[in-house]
């Protein structure tokens, strides 16, 4: 039987030991009227592994071979082969949460190393062992900031519109239940950033300011000024950052005079494949003094009975299984395996390697922008320094262009039409280190062809000759 | 030794990053990092060796029997991993347009349908990223439902005292007050206490059935009636569906909303802590509130339903589509099993648990609910051993590690003293179950003759018993380079 | 540096310890005129893993997505996912030959299990731990038979033409150096088998008879009669078998009155992907009494100082590193990793599973033959029972048909034109368990279209309408 | 515990084979197997757990420093594995037509070109499946060459006494008599003895340079002249190319034929015993005899050269194309390294070996050739320890296992008594080399103070020292089911 090792003799022996005549008797406590023994009519019959393989290969094949210039929170990076060959080793892959520390030193030490790496990347004191993803990590950061801010009882948090729209949605969907209000800060139309000079002079009491760096548009925010402003108003600063960028950008721990208070974001760029949006992992770091307000698991180094170094879950009194309705969060299962991949990824690329990845991505996007500059009807928005991503305005309807590109297997970026209608026909583009000059050329050539065709079609008088 | 202690300055594992420096920057100095990170500088081999060696320090399903109650540590088919990691799936950008996503969308649509059938609910949303987020989605829908009816008197969620910690924690996150309902001595909800607790302030009740006590709540229909009559909704914590797969459907029990832990019942790996997937299913009245995104189908074309298509939705709880790769694994598993395989899961999980309970009872161990049938798990209490021999549950647990078994869940549920919650799952063979029983007997004998030995365990693992108190007091949460 | 962990300081420290000033000095013993320090001009510069990945993906992609009905010694079977996930675990993958037994118990126990499985499959007493592949295993079997046959000093070995042509070539290329002659036995044109009734009445002295089962044409040989005949003439019997077939066919150990003396073949069907022909592995089993004549490594079970069971290389005195010019063979490195995969494969499919695989393949080939029977101009040769493979005669030139099929990504079998010209336009076809009814239809439809087109083109008068 | 001991009759791991019985057979009873095989009947999880646990009992490059001399146990890049196992490569049938094989053929063609450049030879054939088969191909070509010239007096192959066992064994397989040439006290071939040995009966000489003594044969040109003048050919055993990659080419030394062990120098894995790949390179005069198949290129199209294209070829030595998947791994490695990387391999392999030799010398160990530079490896002799302390090389080797190091090669080459042949390779870090040196010092101290302890090693492995004599005497080569 699939995955079940019992032979007929086993079954008889076991039923005998229990003292029943059939397996069915073991379900005797379920009221009869509730039983649904033939109730899975809509589920197909089991398949062999070969048949399922064929099905899945066909389906995977159907979506393969795209050329992707979309970023917007999910970035295609080269993942060293060793990362997933190691991560999927059964001992990592099929272990549970390390509740029995002595039998889980592999996972626990790795998580401790992960915490160290994230602390270093963000410049913050401490890191937890992961949250679900970037959006939900931001939600948790907001809840945490409201809890942790001793100087303000406000449930207002300032949320720039330059934060990823889906992060804003997720955060709001989660925190609004607790009466927390995310108040939008609009961005400067020229720069695509939150202009520190235009911040409200008298913002009133608020618990925290969120600062994305780079922001959703790829634009660099004036993090120092923003951080100082928030701190002057007794608010905490929540940094939302791309971990790859931190190899070359100022880490949140060094923003402004005293640094951000909480840093969070999505760890996907660190070894997680695009994979339709998940599993990724949310990371969260904070100041030492806030560690007891942090949600999620935390690993500490300690010693065993013989004084030997070892690792264990610690500060569990914050968590739901101990504190129940008073816990810092309801999170239990996190994204351990992705953290495993990230830790191995960071070890393989190393300090210098991550800088190179970040720089190469950035350079590639600059190359893409140069090439786009030559496409008539395409226009870079925002005049600020950027990292690794940028907004382009098209003359033609975004939806038509994107659809035409997709037919050629090209994902030409992410349309901003729904979330930023004020920007017109705008798309967000990105070229990571995985894109070659030839890839960029393919994209540009397709874009030019499409522009020509769409312009022609839009032409009231059809040109005589094709 | 930590990876950082193997690091040396300026060691570059060249092939893993672009070989040459980028020549353009355009990033002004003011935004640039001043000091290089502490990321390790090791060769590829050093990293591979380090993490290979670390992995060997873990117990896992692929190496050990792991009867961790409430966690359903069953075999994770390797095909689920291999096939979910086909390049076409790994390479799909979450914003990939529908016409380039039909393969993936088909899988998600099929999975929604399978889960609807399995739970008996009207509709399913796959987005939530673990059980706890599924609970959040569920309770948020309950709130949205009452809100939509302008019924804002409902401020309380009822939770049995045996509930998993995520239940009360979730209620709090949705701004509900938690009221605990006691359990009677048979492990069922105390119906009289429930009747006394419900009222116009009751938003709903969160139940697990089979409960975390390892028994099936027999009066579930009555409970449903009581809560429904009071205007509350029923939430089903479906973390532990393994015992009833194909046998009974939460929808038929009267539940309004359920989350499932695919990383348990549908055998996706737990990865040393995650990721999971916690899809939610709902009855008709909660359908409009389901979190987005959803997958729909028209004329053999699959497409997304998002915020604008679902105006009453509680919205999205993940940046994109939840833990898509976990969902693929669950889908593959479901196709391998098929309907007959799902029935078998429940049957053999239940057979294994009842056999184990029967044999341990014969061996003299006390069960928390000796007059009940076990479901997929059961609770044993070592109260007697703790009192008479001074050997407690944690000592038994640590000693089991020496015998080559991962310990069952200890000290949960909280209401049973000195308990072990034991869940063998259907994928363990009789031989291994017998070996575990023998180990328990042997430890019992050790406890009687040499209690100190048991209390000093483990002896054969990479470390001996760790000092948790020190860990929490002298916080050491990250490695710091020695001052240079 | 790629794969080299040395920092500049390390290098200086090491040079200092050695007492030289530069690495170059360490090459001082190489005569100057031989040095070629800039001598790799034709080798390109190093690439990053990402660049190499891109190159290899493009190349792999170029050859992908074929629909393959070729067998002829290499069979496409479903390989359970667990096989290679386990086989490529570093501890198996990156270990050397188990020279230090105590540090290699994993590999050694696995090989002992493998030997047991192969003994059971072939019905022979003992198995070695692998040779290179099927063809070279046959060569070794011939050398071994000539050494082992105490009753005959002959260097003649009878080789049916129903043995895989490449096996015959390889065997001959290897054994002819030692003056061994492989004398061909022709096959019956009706049955495609060695007719026992037509065997030479007075064959003279010969050391061994080779018997393939199934033979290259997929036809079943009269193994009992052949075995008895060889033994009557004091010759040994070398069985060449497909391991999958042994799940349902009589094992060599039970052929005739006393069984074959040596069994060999290619282990590819047991978990090795097609992979362009390798790495596969050769297997070899024999009677107990011949074990000291067997080439290759052999693992034995023994005990350690404490009396605990353990495994070690044994009978090494046969091997080149001890016996040098008197060794049973020069083989040293074998195909260990493939044996690892095969052992895991056999454990996963198990006794019953392998029967099902064999039966399903056979049934699928029968289905294919039925479908081909409806294609005009295609004709099954040979009227004997077969397993899993068959010869089809076409009316049209094989080369043209195969080329036309290949343009559609279909590999329609293997042409026999070069090796069996007497069979005319013949191909060898095979449909393993991996082929669906739809696959067979695709093949048949393509064949019909091609037949039509080629017949039309061959037509002296072109039909007027296409 | 053996997998067979975990097996139970009629346990079927269903998803791994077709789920339903085949309904047609057509195979007459007389050809059918009567009794089912003994293959294990276990669940997928049981198999996974069994082989995962077994794997953990191995030392390997991914877990341990493995300085096994003459074996070049260096890091096997994971990318080589992942990329060589892309579906397009794994799925290619060996008889796939050229037009569906351009990707694979391009890799093989490129690899031929790279190996030509590296060895300085005129042409390369990739077919041989390991070093020993490469040797066979090489010596068979020597035979074919002499045969083609009707020079049938040549019946002898010269082999230095330090040679690897495959050399004389290969000569025998090609029906040559083997004549051993002694080595002088510096580790070089004894030139006078060589001069005395050559003659019209000399078909050729098989040499390794650097030799298995870990030194570079300095008078190689002179040797080449002597043999060539006598009408013999020079065979280069290139198993150990690691020390000279990019530094000196066998072609320039005067060799006529060479085999390479890609599973050493080109870092394909050894897989616990294999597979390897042993391509051969030849000078112009041997080119016609190269084994088939070869890959050629015309107008950017790649195609096979087979028997009919190469009438003088010694033919094929493998059923298809040798160990194609291993060749792909080597190709990937070569592209990752590039030319500069290849130079570095030789440089750092040599640096590591010389450093290690220098430090061990300082620690008081005796070197076999103390006045020579090490190449990629070197020989240490424990003659003194064996005589004075009664602790021999095997004892040191086993004790090293307890210290977490795989032992170097022991008792090879045969002519140096009580020797350890140590090859650290370029991928090991200074820290690990230092740790090995410290272990050697510690064992030396143990040998001086507690010899019995060293002689009883190992203590910390899955088994203690195994009884090889018993293994050979009471042959137990396969498990037998207990009589029922
Ligand atoms: C009964 C029960 N409910 C809820 C959960 C929470 O699920 P998750 O860990 O996936 O968030 C668990 C699992 O730990 C559980 O056992
Ligand atoms: C010097 C030398 N020659 C030849 C060989 C034989 O190579 P293989 O084991 O690949 O047959 C080896 C490797 O063991 C070797 O070290």
Residue range A408-448, pLDDT digits in tens: 999 999 999 999 999 999 999 999 999 999 999 999 999 99
Q: How many angstroms separate the CA atoms of D84 and A152, rounded? A: 59
Helix or strand run (H / E) with residue C169: helix C165-175
- Sorted by sequence, the CB contacts under 8 Å of residue B35 that are 6+ apart come out as none
How far apart are the CA of B17 and the nearest CA of chain C, in angstroms? 7
User: Cβ contact (<8 Å) for C50 and A81?
Assistant: no
Domain ranges, residue A365: 351-457
- Domain match, A323 and A357 both: no
More confident residue, A36 or C406: C406
Q: Lowest-pLDDT range, A162-171, C32-41, C222-231, C340-349?
A: C32-41
DSSP one-letter string for B347-375: HHHHHHHHHHHHHHHHTTPEESSTTSPP-
CA distance C4 to B260: 48
Per-residue model confidence as pLDDT tens digits over B199-226 = 999 999 999 999 999 999 999 999 999 9
* Same domain for A373 and A224: no
Secondary structure (DSSP) of C312-352? EEE-GGGSHHHHGGGSS----S--HHHHHHHHHHHHHHHHH
Residues A191 and A213 in one domain: yes
Residues 397-426 in D contacting C (C-alpha not used; CB under 8 Å):
397-398, 401, 406-407, 409, 412, 426
- For residues B277 and B262, the answer to whether their CB atoms sit within 8 Å is yes
The closest of B291, B259, B277, B294 to B105, measured between CA atoms, is B294
Burial-class residue D403 by CB neighbours within 10 Å (0-12, 13-18, 19+). Answer: middle
Alpha helices in B230-323 (DSSP H): 250-253, 262-265
Indicate whether A29 belongs to any domain.
no
- CA of D68, nearest ligand number: 2
Res B422 pLDDT > 90: yes
On the question of pLDDT at A311 being above 90, the answer is yes
Q: Are D274 and C334 in contact (CB under 8 A)?
A: yes
Helix residue ranges, H only, D44-130: 44-55, 78-84, 87-90, 102-119
Give dist(CA C222, CA C237) in Å, integer: 13
pLDDT at D382: 98
Each residue's pLDDT tens digit, C114-127: 999 999 999 999 99
| D contacts of A4 (beta carbons < 8 Å) | 43
Is pLDDT above 60 for B380? yes
Mean pLDDT, residues A175-194: 97
Q: Same structural domain for residues A120 and A268?
A: yes
- Percent of chain A having pLDDT more than 90? 92
Q: Which pairing describes strands D301-305 and D294-298: parallel, antiparallel, or unpaired?
A: antiparallel
Mean pLDDT for B433-453 is 98
Interface predicted TM-score (ipTM)? 0.97
Locus of tokens 């393949």: C361
Q: Which of B21-25, B93-97, C234-238, C435-439 has the lowest mean pLDDT?
A: B21-25
Q: How confident is the model at residue C459 (pLDDT cuts 50, 70, 90)?
A: low
Q: Which atom of ligand 1 is nearest to the CA of B70?
A: 16
Nearest chain A residue to C89 by CA distance is A89
Signed CA dihedral, A203, A204, A210, A216: sign only = negative
DSSP-assigned states of every residue in C170-218: HHHHHHGGGT-EEEEE---TTTSS--GGGS-SS--S-SEEEEEES-TTS
Q: Are the beta carbons of A335 and A326 closer than 8 angstroms?
A: no
Whether pLDDT at A463 is above 50: no
What pLDDT digit, counting tens, does each position of C239-290 carry?
A: 999 999 999 999 999 999 999 999 999 999 999 999 999 999 999 999 999 9
> Cis peptide leading into D242, omega within 30 of 0?
no
**Is A131 inside a domain boundary?**
yes
B108: three-class secondary structure by DSSP: helix
**Does residue C22 lie in a domain region?**
no
* Mean predicted confidence (pLDDT) in B470-475: 96
Of A345, A376, A408, which marks where a domain is finished?
Answer: A345
Judge if C204 and C142 occupy the same domain. yes
pLDDT score of C39: 81
Which of B62, B101, B475 is closest, CB to CB, to A300? Answer: B475
Q: Is C415 helix (H, G, I), strand (E, B) or coil?
A: strand
CB D457, CB D398: distance < 8 Å: yes
Residue A466 has pLDDT above 60, yes or no: no
Residue of chain B minimizing CA distance to A170: B317
Classify A254 as helix, strand or coil.
helix
Is residue C463's pLDDT more than 90? no
Residue A465 has pLDDT above 50, yes or no: no
Q: Report the distance separating Cα C449 and Cα B51, nearest Å.
A: 56
| Cβ–Cβ below 8 Å for B15 and C49 | yes
Q: Say what the pLDDT of residue C454 is.
A: 85
Q: Predicted confidence band at C322 (pLDDT cuts at 50, 70, 90)?
A: confident
- Domain D346-469: which CATH class? alpha beta
The H-or-E segment that residue D228 falls in is helix D220-229
pLDDT in tens, B296-353: 999 999 999 999 999 999 999 999 999 999 999 999 999 999 999 999 999 999 999 9
Cα separation, B208 vs B219, whole angstroms: 13
pLDDT tens digits for range D118-172: 999 999 999 999 999 999 999 999 999 999 999 999 999 999 999 999 999 999 9
For residue C338, is pLDDT > 70? yes
Domain ranges of chain D: 79-337, 346-469
- Quote the mean pLDDT of chain D: 96
Q: What is the pLDDT confidence band of residue C466, given thresholds at 50, 70 and 90?
A: very low
Give the global pTM. Answer: 0.97
Q: How many domains does chain A have?
A: 2
The subunits that touch chain C, with at least 3 C-beta pairs less than 8 Å apart, are A, B, D
Q: What are the pLDDT digits (tens) for B70-126?
A: 999 999 999 999 999 999 999 999 999 999 999 999 999 999 999 999 999 999 999
Q: Which two tokens stand for residue C171?
A: 């065997």
Shared domain for A261 and A387, answered yes or no, is no
**Binding-face residues of B in 228-257 toward A, CB within 8 A:** 244, 246-249, 252-253
Q: Say if residue C289 is in the same domain as residue C356.
A: no
Contact (Cβ atoms closer than 8 angstroms) between residue D224 and residue D388: no
Please report whether residue C200 resides in a domain. Answer: yes
pLDDT digits (tens, 9 = 90+) for D448-457: 999 999 999 9
| Residue C230 CA from chain centroid, whole number | 25
A336 shares a domain with A375: no
The CATH number covering residue A380 comes to 3.90.1150.10
Whether the pLDDT of residue C458 is over 70: the answer is no
The pLDDT of residue B484 is above 70: no
For residue D190, how many C-alpha atoms fall within 13 Å in the half-sphere facing its CB?
15
Which residue matches tokens 């995520």?
B166
pLDDT tens digits for range C217-236: 999 999 999 999 999 999 99
The DSSP line for C254-323 is GSTTT--SEEEEE-TTTT---GGG-S--EEEEE-GGGGGG--S-EEEEEEBTTS-EEEEEE-GGGSHHHH
What φ, ψ does residue D340 adopt, rounded to 5°?
Answer: -65, -35
For chain A, helix (H) and strand (E) counts, in that order, are 12, 15
Q: What are phi and psi of A237, to 5 degrees?
A: -115, 125
pLDDT band at B21 (very low <50, low <70, confident <90, very high): confident
Query: Closest Cα to residue D398, out of D468, D470, D472, D456?
Result: D456
Contacts of C352 in chain A (CB under 8 A): none
- The DSSP bridge pattern shows strands A156-160 and B280-282 to be unpaired
Distance separating alpha carbons of residues C353 and D19, to the nearest angstrom: 9
The answer to whether residues A372 and A278 belong to one domain is no
Give domain status of residue C73, yes or no. Answer: no
- Same domain? For C298 and C440 the reply is no
Give pLDDT < 50 ranges for chain D: none
Residue C310 lies in a domain: yes
Buried b / exposed e along A299-327 (16+ C-beta atoms within 10 A): bbbbbbeeeeebbbbbbbebbbbebbbeb
Q: Measured in angstroms, how far is the CA atom of residue D82 from the centroid of ligand 2?
A: 26
β-sheet bridge partners, residue C411:
C68
Q: Residues with beta carbon inside 6 Å of ligand 2? A: C 332-333; D 70, 130-132, 164, 166, 208, 212, 237, 239-240, 261, 276, 278
A88/A107 same-domain check: yes
Q: How confident is the model at residue C462 (pLDDT cuts 50, 70, 90)?
A: very low
Give the pLDDT confidence score for residue A326 in this predicted structure: 87
E-assigned strand segments in B175-242: 177-181, 202-207, 233-238
Tens digit of pLDDT for each residue in B167-185?
999 999 999 999 999 999 9
Whether the Cβ atoms of residue A125 and residue A288 lie closer than 8 Å to each other? yes
Fold of D79-337: 3.40.640
Q: What's the average model confidence in pLDDT over C284-313?
A: 97
Classify residue A7 by burial, with Cβ atoms within 10 Å: 0-12, 13-18, 19+: middle
Return the pLDDT at C460: 52
Indicate whether C175 belongs to any domain: yes
What is each CA distance from C119 to C116, C123, C255, C284, D4, in whole angstroms?
Answer: 5, 5, 14, 9, 13
Q: Which of A280, A315, A345 finishes a domain?
A: A345
- How many Cα atoms occupy the beta-carbon half-sphere of B414 within 13 Å? 13
Q: How far is A44 from chain D (nearest CA, A)?
A: 14
Q: How far is the CA of D420 from the centre of ligand 2 (A)?
A: 17
Helical residues (DSSP H) of B149-286, grouped into ranges = 166-173, 191-197, 220-229, 250-253, 262-265
Residue D96 token pair: 């796939």
Same domain membership, residue C271 and residue C144: yes
CATH number reported for the structural domain that contains residue C160 in this entry:
3.40.640.10
Residue A460: per-residue pLDDT? 52
Token pair of D90 as six digits: 């794994």
Least confident of A111-115, A371-375, C72-76: A371-375
Distance CA C419, CA D305 (A): 16
Beta-carbon separation of A249 and B340 below 8 A: no
Instruction: Tell me the pLDDT of chain B averaged across its residues.
Output: 96
Residue ending a domain, choose from C345, C368, C395 = C345
Rounded Cα distance between D443 and D421, Å, is: 17
Size of interface A-C (CB pairs under 8 A): 23
Tokens 């050697």 locate to D440
Is residue C245 assigned to a domain? yes
| pLDDT range class, residue A459, cuts 50, 70, 90 | low
């Amino acid at each position: 039987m699939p995955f079940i090792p019992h032979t007929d003799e086993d079954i008889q022996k076991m039923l005998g030991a229990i003292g029943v005549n059939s397996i069915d008797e073991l379900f005797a406590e379920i009221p009869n009227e509730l039983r649904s023994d033939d109730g899975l009519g809509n589920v197909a019959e089991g398949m062999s592994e070969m048949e399922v393989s064929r099905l899945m290969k066909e389906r995977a094949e159907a979506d393969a071979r795209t050329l992707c210039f979309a970023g917007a929170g999910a970035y295609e990076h080269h993942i060293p082969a060793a990362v997933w060959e190691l991560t999927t080793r059964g001992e990592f892959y099929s272990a549970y949460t390390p509740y029995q520390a002595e039998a889980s030193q592999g996972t626990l030490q790795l998580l401790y190393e992960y915490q160290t790496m994230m602390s270093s990347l963000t410049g913050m004191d401490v890191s937890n062992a992961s949250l679900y993803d970037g959006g939900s990590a931001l939600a948790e950061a907001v809840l945490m900031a409201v809890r942790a801010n001793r100087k303000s009882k406000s449930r207002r948090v300032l949320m720039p519109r330059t934060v990823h729209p889906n992060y804003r949605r997720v955060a709001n969907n989660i925190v609004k239940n607790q009466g927390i209000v995310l108040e939008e800060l609009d961005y400067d139309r020229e720069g695509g950033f939150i202009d520190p000079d235009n911040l409200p002079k008298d913002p009133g009491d608020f618990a925290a300011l969120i600062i994305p760096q780079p922001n959703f548009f790829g634009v660099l925010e004036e993090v120092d000024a923003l951080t100082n402003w928030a701190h002057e108003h007794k608010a905490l600063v929540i940094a939302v950052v791309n971990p790859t960028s931190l190899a070359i950008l100022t880490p949140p721990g060094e923003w402004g005079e005293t640094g951000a208070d909480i840093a969070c974001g999505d760890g996907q760029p660190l070894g997680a494949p695009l994979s339709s949006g998940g599993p990724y992992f949310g990371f969260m770091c904070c100041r030492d003094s806030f560690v007891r307000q942090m949600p999620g698991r935390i690993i500490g180094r300690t010693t065993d009975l013989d004084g030997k170094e070892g690792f264990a879950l610690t500060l569990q009194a914050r968590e739901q299984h101990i504190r129940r309705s008073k816990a810092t969060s309801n999170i239990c299962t996190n994204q351990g395996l992705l953290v495993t991949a990230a830790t191995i990824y960071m070890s393989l690329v190393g300090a210098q390697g991550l800088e190179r990845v970040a720089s190469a991505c950035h350079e590639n996007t600059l190359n893409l922008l140069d090439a786009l500059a030559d496409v008539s009807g395409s226009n870079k928005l925002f005049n600020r320094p950027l990292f690794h991503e940028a907004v382009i305005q098209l003359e033609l309807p975004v939806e038509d262009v994107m659809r035409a590109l997709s037919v050629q297997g090209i994902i030409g970026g992410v349309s901003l039409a729904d979330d930023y209608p004020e920007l017109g026909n705008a798309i967000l583009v990105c070229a990571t280190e995985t894109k070659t000059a030839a890839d960029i050329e393919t994209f540009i050539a397709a874009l030019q062809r499409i522009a020509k065709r769409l312009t022609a079609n839009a032409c009231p008088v059809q040109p005589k000759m094709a | 030794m930590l990876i950082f202690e193997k690091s040396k300055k300026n060691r570059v594992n060249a092939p893993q990053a672009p070989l040459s420096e980028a020549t353009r920057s355009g990033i002004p100095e003011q935004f640039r990092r001043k000091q290089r990170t502490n990321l390790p500088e090791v060769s590829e081999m050093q990293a591979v060796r380090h993490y290979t060696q670390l992995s060997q320090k873990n117990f896992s399903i692929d190496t050990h029997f792991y009867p961790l109650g409430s966690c359903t540590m069953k075999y994770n088919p390797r095909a689920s991993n291999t096939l979910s990691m086909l390049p076409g799936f790994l390479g799909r950008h979450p914003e990939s347009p529908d016409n380039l996503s039909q393969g993936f969308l088909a899988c998600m649509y099929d999975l929604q349908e399978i889960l609807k059938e399995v739970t008996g609910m009207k509709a399913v949303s796959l987005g939530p990223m673990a059980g706890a987020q599924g609970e959040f989605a569920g309770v948020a829908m309950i709130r949205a439902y009452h809100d939509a009816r302008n019924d804002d008197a409902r401020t309380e969620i009822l939770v049995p005292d045996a509930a998993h910690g995520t239940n009360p924690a979730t209620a709090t996150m949705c701004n509900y007050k938690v009221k605990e309902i006691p359990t009677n001595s048979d492990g069922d909800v105390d119906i009289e206490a429930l009747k006394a607790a419900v009222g116009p302030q009751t938003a709903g009740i969160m139940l697990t059935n089979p409960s975390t006590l390892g028994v099936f709540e027999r009066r579930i229909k009555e409970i449903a009636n009581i809560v429904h009559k009071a205007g509350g909704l029923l939430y089903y914590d479906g973390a532990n569906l393994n015992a009833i797969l194909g046998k009974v459907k939460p929808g038929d029990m009267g539940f309004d909303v359920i989350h499932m832990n695919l990383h348990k019942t549908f055998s996706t790996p737990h990865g040393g802590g995650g990721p999971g997937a916690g899809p939610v299913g709902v009855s008709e009245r909660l359908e409009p509130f389901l979190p987005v995104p959803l997958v729909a189908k028209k004329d053999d074309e699959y497409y997304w339903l998002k915020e604008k298509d679902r105006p009453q939705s509680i919205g999205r709880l993940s940046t994109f589509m939840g833990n898509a790769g976990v969902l693929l694994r669950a889908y593959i598993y479901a196709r391998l099993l098929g309907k007959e395989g799902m029935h078998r899961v429940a049957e053999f999980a239940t057979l294994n648990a009842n056999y184990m309970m029967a044999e341990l009872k014969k061996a003299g161990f006390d069960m928390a609910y000796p007059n009940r049938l076990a479901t997929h798990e059961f609770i044993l209490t070592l109260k007697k051993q703790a009192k008479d021999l001074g050997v407690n549950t944690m000592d038994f647990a640590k000693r089991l590690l020496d015998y080559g078994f991962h310990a069952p869940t200890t000290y949960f549920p909280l209401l049973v003293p000195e308990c072990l919650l034991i869940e063998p799952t259907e994928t363990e063979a009789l031989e291994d179950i017998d070996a575990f029983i023998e180990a328990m007997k042997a430890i019992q004998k050790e406890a009687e003759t040499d209690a100190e030995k048991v209390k000093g365990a483990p002896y054969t693992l990479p470390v001996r018993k760790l000092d948790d108190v020190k860990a929490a007091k002298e916080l050491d949460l990250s490695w710091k380079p020695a001052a240079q």
